[in-house]
């Protein structure tokens, strides 16, 4: 008796998903194949453009270098050595902590 219940449960576990898949496949619309025209015509009424001189590539352009000057005293860089570095609170050895 228990064996027939197991077989019935196994059949249900297999048959139900297969039934759902078969029903889904049967109800979907099959798209029609696209029709290919028997002959393709290209528009040849316009003349071909004449090649013009291409724009210069970046390697062809000459750019002058900026002048090299010493940094003025009012430089905004944060690399000044007269200021102490801010405390980052990481607890490293030698920290103010």
- pLDDT for 71-88, tens place per residue? 666 656 555 555 555 555
Closest CA to 11 of 23, 26, 3: 3
pLDDT of residue 49: 65
pLDDT value at residue 40: 75
Give dist(CA 84, CA 77) in Å, integer.
14
Q: Is the pTM of this model over 0.85?
A: no
Q: What is the mean pLDDT of the chain?
A: 75
Q: State how far the Cα of 14 lies from the Cα of 8, in Å rounded to an integer.
A: 10
CB 87 within 8 A of CB 95: yes
Residue written as tokens 């004449």?
50
- Which pLDDT score is estimated for 28? 86
């Amino acid at each position: 008796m228990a064996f027939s219940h197991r077989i019935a449960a196994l059949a249900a576990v297999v048959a139900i998903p297969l039934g759902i898949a078969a029903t889904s496949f049967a109800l979907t619309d099959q798209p029609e194949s696209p029709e290919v025209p028997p002959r393709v015509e290209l528009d040849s009424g316009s003349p071909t453009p004449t090649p013009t001189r291409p724009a210069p590539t970046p390697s062809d352009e000459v750019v002058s270098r900026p002048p090299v000057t010493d940094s003025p005293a009012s430089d905004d860089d944060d690399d000044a050595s007269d200021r102490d570095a801010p405390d980052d609170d990481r607890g490293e050895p030698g920290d103010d902590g």
